[in-house]
Structure 1
Amino acid sequence: MSHYDNSPLKTRIGDSRLAQKLSRSIKGEVLFDHFSRGRYSTDASIYQIEPIGVVIPQAQDDLTTIINIASEEGIPVLPRGAGTSQSGQTVGLALVIDVSKHLNQIVELDTAERTVIVEPGIVLDQLNAQLKPHGLFFPVDVSTASQATLGGMAGNNSCGARSIRYGLMRDNVLTIDALLASGEQAQFGPIGPGKTCPREPEIYRQLTQSLIELADRESDEITTRFPKVHRRVGGYNIDAMLPPALQQREQNMAQLLVGSEGTLAFTRQLTLRLQPIPAHKVLGICHFSSFYQAMESTQHIVGLAPDAVELVDRTLIDLALDIPIFKDTLTRFVQGEPDALLLVEFAGEDPTHLQKHLGDLSTLMADLGHPGSVVDIVSPEDQRSVWEVRKSGLNIMMSMKGDRKPVSFIEDCAVPLEHLAEFTGRLTRIFEKHGTRGTWYAHASEGCLHVRPVLNMKSPEDVRKMRSIAEQAFSIVREYEGSHSGEHGDGIVRSEFHPIMFGDRMLSIFEQVKETIDPGGLFNPGKIVDPPR
């Protein structure tokens, strides 16, 4: 990418003097060799950028030392967990700090208050395994739960299949203990009466006041330009600093860090809100003869208050049938050859009540013109088998043979449910105009579908198609007052489109947020503001 090719920081890649300085100063590993830089030059996105080097801190003290040295050397830092980013958040021309190996512990669990304090490198599945004996779990259930770290999930403002019930990361992170660019430590959290934070350092109190004043000054623009959908993870959450009456929640500085992609401060610890594990779950598989019917029906199904409504399209079904571990599940529970499925889950304490929900779902489907189209699944084991197909959606899609693969760049746009069917229809026509098609799956309940146009990224023509498709898709999303990123964040792939989605004045507000908290541009540059093009 020319933006990075022309950077003076390229001369610091593999800098042996910097590596030696770090090695003398921290307990953790310092990896500046060519092989290690290559390993960290990619994540789950389509981008590849060689970092300056990699450090793996062994203790919290290492973080402060690393950030101080990077600041002295004029080297940006890039926080990294598992590297499951879909948008290029965790690659860049910077010093990568990998917290997944050592900073991955539960610090404190309060079962009475249902909260837990964790280090940023703990993996979601590992956290929930330790919480299970207490009857608790962390409910933001991303499909990469076996790899995704809580620090990365907070940085991305991750959502998961059940956000319609439990909300996004923003709704479930209470406080974030973070390091500022100055090396000082502060706890980002609720802003108390009088808008004071007496226990925090002066620099934190000053930037908090500056951000409150910015939000007050720009409140009309913020409330007008932010998308009117639940799944909105683009830009900075400056609306968290609006007066409580305007945002219908308390002011909380932690919510500003959530979704900031490591561009404002470095997370040391997070305090999370936990939920009791539901005693029972049931699943209804709704069959549709056309994709459009599935999208049109979603808004009605959501009225039954399910915990999740997830889409599986015909392409995913066909690809999964060719994979032995999924074939039996699909053969048992999919009737005929539907063009699309909606997986509808209900959870709660009373199994009789849940059975009634399944009955209501069948009645609704019949009223919508789809009688006998719901397959009920009550067995927990069978439910797990079906959900495993959905959770493996990305891997299944990428099993597509040939050079043309489903490509992630517009894959999590979110629109209001009443526009979902029309939006997907218009997007399909854009794909057809460019001589391709899209694969579809995921979060129908929130109007946020993982759609990936099938392109050959080795072909210059298809690379040009990618940009054209993105521009047209984001224009439609803006028309519906939706979000161009409903789950996977901005990173490299979407940050450059902020002027289209938010407007120049809102972009200026984002730049002021960055300048206020990270004036020297130390943290993960080129994401959200001042992106490469």
Structure 2
Amino acid sequence: MKNASSLEQRLRSNLTGDVFFDAFNRGRYATDASFYQIMPAGVVVPRTIDEALRTLAIARDDGRIVTPRGGGTSQCGQTVNDGIVVDFSKHVNRIVSLDVANRSCVVEPGIVLDDLNRQLKKHGLWFPVDVSTASRATIGGMAGNNSCGGRSLRYGTMRDNTLSMDAALADGTLLHFGEVPRDLTRVNSPESGLKLFRDMLDLGEREAAEIAERFPKVQRRVGGYNLDALVPRNAPNNLAHLLVGSEGTLAFTTQVELKLWPVIRNKVLGVCHFGSFYEAMDAAQHLVKLRPIAVELVDRTMIALGRDIAMFQRIISAAVRGDPDAILVVEFAEEDQADNLARLKQLGELMADLGFGWDKPQRKWGGVVEIVEPALQSGIADFRAAGLNVMMSMKQEGKPVSFVEDCAVPLPHLADYTERLNAVFAKHSTRGTMYAHASEGCLHVRPVLNLKLDKDVKAMRAIAEEAFEMVREYKGSHSGEHGDGLVRSEFHEAMFGTRIVADFREVKQRFDPDNTLNPGKIVDPPKMDDRSLFRYRPDYRVGELKTVLDWSAYPGAGGGFQGAVEMCNNNGACRKLEGGVMCPSYRATRNEKDVTRGRANTLRLAISGQLGPDALASDEMAETLKLCVSCKACRHECPTGVDMAKMKIEVLAARAAKRGLSLRDRLVGYLPRYVDLASRFAPLANLRNHSPLLRALFEKFAGISARRALPAFRRDPFRPDAEALGPPDGREVVLFADTFNRAYERENLDAAIEVLVAGGYRVHLPKPSDSGRPLCCGRTFLSAGLVEQARSELNRLVAAYAPFAARGVPIIGLEPSCLLTLRDELLSLRADETAKNISAHALLFEEFLVREAEAGRLSLPLGPVGAKAMVHGHCHQKSFGAFKPVEKVLRLVPGLDVKTIESSCCGMAGAFGYGAETYQASIEMAELSLLPAVRGADQDTLIVADGTSCRHQIRDGSGRTPLHVASVLAMSLKCAKSSSETISPIKEEAHG
């Protein structure tokens, strides 16, 4: 083989897409959602199909293997190899054509399922192979794995919904794979293609009896090659179905023609409760007789884990009664809602007939919870779809491991199979988690193992052999949804027999004689327990790490930092493009480098020495984290709890200790120390904004973009004379005057005081005991990695606020990033009871008002301020579940129609948006949804944003002047002179 530098040079000169041969980028593609890791020789992100085919040709000429990749969410190691990885997901993702009348479309392989369905929805259509990874799974990857989804009981698998495929063979020959007559008449294909098709049909005819004998008779069979698509009884034969499930080993997909279905318009759910897991599994065969479109299992472990995850707590409390051992979520989705409701009633009757009524004491957790509210249905669907990540959120060294995960057995055997499987787990001193598709006899079963330990690897091997033997006994399939990859391919001979495996090898040889395309999958695989292919190899080590934050909640060495990094299981929930906040930089760039998963992988490789010495403080690591805006969305939205914002602080601290600070870091970090001095000389301090020369100099020497105006210092910053305002006998509160509002927008603090005093509160404004500079949360220091300086600031704050917190006085703040530092980073810097008490009493302004109103303690004379308000939520508000109170408080204003802007991060993110290197990314984030929504609003619509940086981004990008919610309420107070309306306590909203 020619050397890598020569290959890299050829690829770069022939492609416009990204070409990566450095260790950091290759490392980000060395893993998928399996436990394997294989470092590729290089990575190509082509801009077009033509570039992808050129990559194939160049790599083949160089003697390299090629592995196509979509979202990288494969759980069996399908998308890892040591050749060239081709990532289709960034650019090769168009709908090529759409035929609404005939319900079909043609797409490129890199299109994400959710993105496809968003575009189809306006036509009343959808593609129903609804895998749980729909927010990042690509159609090409789904075709490669023969994905199934939760509703395959009604809609079938990927194979059932694939009409045709265009693909290139390893030698570059382009062929159309679709339905053909067995005599191949009128098939438009080159001679080499016709000969290939003839050979495949002949194989199917020759082996028809063996295929009928050895292929499992269950719908959920996705193992091996689909030779049954070739047999005469299936004529006309669809040759695309041979490519479906082939895991990129036969051909390079260029287009996929899909069968579409009408969107589901009405549905209901019945949540069936069971006192034992066995009873739930035994009931599944009876529940499917009501013809639901899905029956999904959630076991006790998943329920318990979900109750500890903030984003799922409300959903579980609404859907789950008591403490069941398992629940089955039964979904009906007929066109007529009355039909669905009738079936829901029948479900309750059937459960009672089976002995699972609420009124039977021995079936304490029996019965059905009926779910008809769409919002709650969506929440339950999200929880079930997050099952894998919920299971992986265990904060321990052992994790649920995928290797016998999706075996499928006929429904009458499901209860016995799962009971015996649990006995196998117990025999090997472990336990398993189970969830997913009870309607198909296909459960996601994961034994809890620590694959860093040789004994657990041996246990995995033994469990696999015993489990697959059971599956064969029940005439099921050892691969029921997630494919073969490196995990299951080894077991095909036991499953299908020597003759069928020889047929698989013949198919591979006929399509790809030089073994160029993703070798080692389905045919001639390595041993599944070959630890040299593992993410945690026998020589995997993480040296002693001196951390600056508290990571004790996580397992492992390095003070728990290692365990926190290793929480990422690569499932890629951070790659979603809509909904929630995570991950804003990835949404703008679509680069694996800029997604939480990519950063976590890089950190893991760095701390384990796989990226060279001092990788944590390297320029490459700084580049990896450059576009992380510390939005904390991953903290809330990643079901495994990867907290990249906190990890970034560790990296910044390591880099600052090793390399010192840049001028920009000093200007940003030490802002609280010089802000008062700058205010005294405000005209001089603000001169930079008015001078093109100074802007240029700031960009050159401090890295602050000349295209941004910095926030203007005020000559009259917030400096209250009194330490308390409002009625002496009023309920006490402490107002935390943060640096940003104090120095730049004091009108927000003035407004908050006006509102609180009007509400009858005694507002304390405590000063530091050292009578020095005003109190600060240390946020700016943390953003520069200056952890000890941040700790010093927080210590001053704790000393000033401790007496108030000790007597239960709420501590109220206006700036989310500052106030919520007291609920987050404070506890990572000091874990004493005083700090915990302050954290427990820290509330955002609107959180406090909502709490008071709900308790009946708030009365404010408010008047109308306008007809409409549009609200953008700060990322940290959303991360801490603190955004809803903003909407609730604004709805107290008479006649105000409040609409939330569905947006991710505003892109300013503190100092991020001012950076010369990050300015463009900042604008791209804002332009995804926030700025277009603001520009589209009427001029008389109030724009509301609580975050200082959010307001600046909106003002810079739209010309509109957004308001803090405190200012809106103060305006409403002023307008109340003509109105005598007084608010009443807020009523709790119904679920959803």
TM more than 0.5: yes
Q: Classify 1:453/1:197 alpha carbon distance in 2 versus 1 (closer, same or farther; 3 Å).
A: farther
1:339 to 318, 321, 325: 325
Report the CA distance between 1:201 and its aligned residue: 1.4
Post-superposition CA distance 1:195-253 (Å, at most 9, x none): 2353111111101000111111111111110111100000000110111x3x4x63111
* Higher normalized strand content (fraction of residues): 1
Aligned to 1:103: 92
Which runs of structure 2 are paired with 1:310-389 in the superposition (5 Å)?
A: 310-372=296-358, 373-389=367-383
- Please tell me the residue identity of whatever aligns with 2:140: G
Post-superposition CA distance 1:293-352 (Å, at most 9, x none): 000000000111100000000000011111121111111221111000000000021111
Aligned to 1:176: 165
SS in 1 for 2:135: coil
Stretches of 4+ aligned residues off by more than 2 angstroms: 192-198
The whole-number CA distance in structure 1 between the counterparts of 2:50 and 2:386 is 38
The whole-number CA distance in structure 2 between the counterparts of 1:265 and 1:131 is 27
The whole-number CA distance in structure 2 between the counterparts of 1:310 and 1:57 is 38
The whole-number CA distance in structure 1 between the counterparts of 2:167 and 2:186 is 15
Post-superposition CA distance 1:46-103 (Å, at most 9, x none): 0000011111111121122112112211111000001000000000111111111110
The whole-number CA distance in structure 2 between the counterparts of 1:279 and 1:220 is 43
1:79 to 62, 68, 86: 68
SS in 2 for 1:440: strand
Post-superposition CA distance 1:8-51 (Å, at most 9, x none): x8x96xx1110101111222221111111101100100000001
Aligned to 1:511: 505
Aligned to 1:129: 118
- Please tell me the residue identity of whatever aligns with 2:350: L
Q: Does 1:58 align with 2:52?
A: no
Deviates more, 1:54-63 or 1:461-470: 54-63
Report the CA distance between 1:496 and its aligned residue: 0.6
The whole-number CA distance in structure 2 between the counterparts of 1:347 and 1:198 is 39
Aligned to 1:200: 189
Report the CA distance between 1:171 and its aligned residue: 0.3
SS in 2 for 1:280: coil
The whole-number CA distance in structure 2 between the counterparts of 1:428 and 1:198 is 51
The whole-number CA distance in structure 2 between the counterparts of 1:458 and 1:522 is 32
Aligned to 1:28: 17
The whole-number CA distance in structure 2 between the counterparts of 1:80 and 1:28 is 15
Aligned to 2:389: 395
Report the CA distance between 1:193 and its aligned residue: 6.1
The whole-number CA distance in structure 1 between the counterparts of 2:187 and 2:352 is 59
The whole-number CA distance in structure 1 between the counterparts of 2:411 and 2:511 is 36
1:415 to 384, 409, 419: 409
Q: Does 1:447 align with 2:441?
A: yes
Structure 2: 5+ residue runs without aligned partners?
359-366, 528-992
The whole-number CA distance in structure 1 between the counterparts of 2:60 and 2:322 is 61
Aligned to 2:283: 297
- Please tell me the residue identity of whatever aligns with 1:375: V
The whole-number CA distance in structure 1 between the counterparts of 2:378 and 2:513 is 47
Percent of aligned positions that are identical: 58
Structure 1: 5+ residue runs without aligned partners?
1-8
Report the CA distance between 1:457 and its aligned residue: 1.1
CA RMSD of aligned residues (A): 1.1
Aligned to 1:458: 452
Aligned to 1:222: 211
2:237 to 251, 260, 268: 251
Q: With CA pairs under 8 Å and 6+ residues apart, which has the higher RCO, 1 or 2?
A: 1
The whole-number CA distance in structure 2 between the counterparts of 1:70 and 1:401 is 42
In the alignment, is the contact (CA less than 8 A) between 1:197 and 1:205 conserved in 2?
no
Report the CA distance between 1:194 and its aligned residue: 2.7
The whole-number CA distance in structure 2 between the counterparts of 1:59 and 1:277 is 30
The whole-number CA distance in structure 1 between the counterparts of 2:162 and 2:10 is 35
Report the CA distance between 1:388 and its aligned residue: 1.4
Aligned to 1:405: 399
The whole-number CA distance in structure 2 between the counterparts of 1:71 and 1:41 is 20
In the alignment, is the contact (CA less than 8 A) between 1:196 and 1:205 conserved in 2?
no
When the two structures are superposed, what TM-score results if normalisation uses the length of structure 1?
0.96
In the alignment, is the contact (CA less than 8 A) between 2:64 and 2:84 conserved in 1?
yes
- Please tell me the residue identity of whatever aligns with 1:250: P
The whole-number CA distance in structure 1 between the counterparts of 2:144 and 2:297 is 26
Report the CA distance between 1:398 and its aligned residue: 0.8
Post-superposition CA distance 1:168-213 (Å, at most 9, x none): 0000011111011121111111013632353111111101000111
The whole-number CA distance in structure 2 between the counterparts of 1:266 and 1:289 is 49
The whole-number CA distance in structure 2 between the counterparts of 1:517 and 1:476 is 33
Aligned to 1:521: 515
- Please tell me the residue identity of whatever aligns with 2:287: I
The whole-number CA distance in structure 2 between the counterparts of 1:81 and 1:119 is 11
